[in-house]
Amino acid sequence: MPQSDSVSSPNQETLLAFLLDTPPFQELGRAGLESVLGNVSTQRFAAGELILQAGQSQVTHLLVIYEGKVRLFLPGQDGSENLQDTRGPGETIGALGIFRESLSNLNAEAMEDTLCLLIPREGFLHLTERSARFAQFYLKYLSEHYVGKALTELRRPKATSSSEGALYLFSAQVGDLVRRRPEMIGADQPIQAAADQLTSGRVGAVLVTDEAGKVVGVITDRDLRRVVTEDLDHRGPVSGVMSAPVHTIGFHTICFDALLEMLRLKVHHLAIERRGKIEGMVSGHDLMVAQGSSPFYLLREILNADQFDEIYDLSRRVPLVVRSLIYEGARPGNITRMITLLNDYLLERVLNLLQQEHGPPPVPYCWLLMGSEGRKEQTFRTDQDNGLVYADSKDPDEAKRADEYFTAFTAQAIEHLVSCGFPRCPGNMMASNPQWRQPYAKWRGLFDRWIYKPEPKEVLYATIFFDFRPGHGELSLGERLRDHLTKEVRGQEVFLRLLAKDALTTPTPLTMFRNFVLEKKGEHKNKIDLKTKGLVPFVDFARVLSLAHGIKETNTLERLQLLGEGGHISPELTTEAIQAYEFQMQLRLMHQQRLDEEGLPPNNFLDPSELSDLERHTLKDAFAVTNELKAALKEQFRLNLG
């Protein structure tokens, strides 16, 4: 960082007045700011001067723009620039790098002569620890300003920029591209057999092994073309046309490095090796696909898939998109929406292909998505929670045909979804269970019974089934069911009070002295169950109040927003609840991302010792909001009385 320029800098009184008028510094008050100014320096940057360089500059200060303008952009390998944001007076640069203790993730360049205030990293972190409002401002600010472009891209399809592709190649590992075990064939097998294996396996290369099973070569489409052009005998041994030796690359090698290695060796395939074993193959085509693995490109491939195996393969790329969005700083709500969108299209392709196999259904149907799927809050891998509603039959024969059709249809659908990486629901709350595969009239009767004759089990069902949304098929069936539920549940005080009481049963995961309440035994000892103890109280709160006030939306963040807009909760509680929920979701996604990268199954158990001081402090504040939610429920449903 350049040295400060005090010659033309404003005096301390002027700086104090500026900060008192600049959020969130105004939260610190005059006395707090006066103690800060002693360590603040200033620096002028000329127009066109690079202030921070992506991947190179260590972020040692928070820069507050006093006058001038700065642009933030991602540099492309071909010299192109992907503009991310522009900042002016009162706005800041460098907070993300300070929080993450990382190098700058963007280029920051002065667009005109610019004067910045420089607050040392330690001083800035000290301010976030002193003032919860100051810290929350920056956490919200970062989540809003470092939003990935994925959703915009999906709504407005366009070609990906080279800089976007370059970023992906620099972040993804070749192991991420492994979709299946490599195809292999014996060296003494006929060339025709290799050609058949390439075709049936729908692969571009088959590894060749000797009698001992050792890999000695590879045969590709290019080798087969040589057989044709040179008029070689297709009954001859594979060893006569294979390419050798087979070049290998490590499982955790970055895709860009793999591409360079292919160019260096002048080959189109590399064997991916881990712990001495070949686990897959990567081709130049695979890397080009990875280069275009933005959500838009993945979505396009899902929509064009016409085989179940293709859908299985594409489903394994969803976590790669999620990882990219997390790296780019997208808001948790946008990330979970993106996951939901991609998973919805995977479901659509599965059910459409399945319907082609089974023929048209006897009556219209709608696939229902429950739980986190219904709330559009899926993370890396979520258990299946689904059901199926179909139109009431006109006669017994049609009812019988419908039952037989949907029994077979849902059983196979669940199996295909398992192959896509969505585990079965441990409680069997899936469409393959006849209890959750019913005609419309029976579903309506179920909901009515739960509402009008509530018992503990009915309350449990409500926490899962009342978050449903239509997922595929004749959506109007699901929408009619949602309208019926919304109408019937409103005003049912007995049921709503039971639901509110149930929402109060989860204890706040903080002790009286604001220490975390950790798991006491088992494999997750000394960790926090971030889902059950942290997020569920927010989900429950938003659900019961939305049902009480006739809000049909199922997503927790949108429910909270609509509750605030409708005046059902205070503006202050709305803001605090949204920020606390988003922060916990961000921690959850980053935690699951790390586990996924390590090849471990994602879970929700977080070790607070692995968090930074700021993250621990903010998580405690987020947990404390749970008490405010409970107080609001008690007041609205008069649960403080008797």
**pLDDT value, residue 513:** 77
Which residue from 17, 15, 23 is spatially nearest to 138, judged by alpha carbons? Answer: 23
Question: How open is the CA angle 376-381-382, to the nearest 5 degrees?
Answer: 55
Higher pLDDT, 236 or 367: 367
Instruction: Name the CATH code of domain 498-636 (choices 3.40.1620, 3.90.1520, 1.10.287, 1.20.120).
Output: 1.20.120
Instruction: Name the CATH code of domain 12-132 (choices 2.60.120.10, 2.30.110.10, 3.90.1150.10, 3.40.190.10).
Output: 2.60.120.10
Bridge partners (DSSP) of residue 103 are 58
Q: How far apart are CA 430 and CA 385, in angstroms?
A: 6
How much is the pTM? 0.60
Domain 12-132 shares a fold with domain 173-291: no
Higher pLDDT, 323 or 274: 274
**pLDDT value, residue 454:** 77
Mean pLDDT of the chain: 84
**pLDDT value, residue 170:** 56
Give residue 274's pLDDT band: very low, low, confident or very high (50, 70, 90): confident
Q: 280 near 313, Cβ under 8 Å? A: no
Instruction: Name the CATH code of domain 173-291 (choices 3.50.50.60, 3.40.50.11540, 3.10.580.10, 3.30.499.10).
Output: 3.10.580.10
Q: Is the pLDDT of residue 498 over 70?
A: yes
Token pair in block for residue 417: 């979804």
List pLDDT tens digits, range 202-221. 787 899 998 888 889 988 87
Low-confidence winner among 135-149, 193-207, 266-280, 609-623 (lowest mean pLDDT): 135-149
Q: Where are the alpha helices (H) located in 328-455, listed in sequence order?
A: 332-358, 371-374, 396-419, 440-452
**pLDDT value, residue 626:** 93
Inter-axis angle of helices 536-548 and 493-503, to 10 degrees? 170
Domain spans of the chain, in order of start? 12-132, 173-291, 498-636
What mean pLDDT do residues 116-140 have?
A: 83
Token pair in block for residue 29: 């008050």
Give residue 628's pLDDT band: very low, low, confident or very high (50, 70, 90): very high
**pLDDT value, residue 28:** 87
Amino acid occupying residue 416: H
- In three-state secondary structure terms, 205 is strand
What mean pLDDT do residues 44-62 have?
A: 92
List pLDDT tens digits, range 387-421. 999 999 999 999 999 999 999 999 999 999 999 98
Give residue 173's pLDDT band: very low, low, confident or very high (50, 70, 90): confident
Cα dihedral 628→629→635→641 (10° resolution): -90
What mean pLDDT do residues 529-545 have?
A: 95
**DSSP, residue by residue, 559-615:** HHHHHHHTTSS-HHHHHHHHHHHHHHHHHHHHHHHHHHHTT-----EE-GGGS-HHH
Q: How far apart are CA 609 and CA 125, in angstroms?
A: 18
State residue 190 phi and psi, 5-degree precision: -70, 150
What mean pLDDT do residues 497-501 have?
A: 91
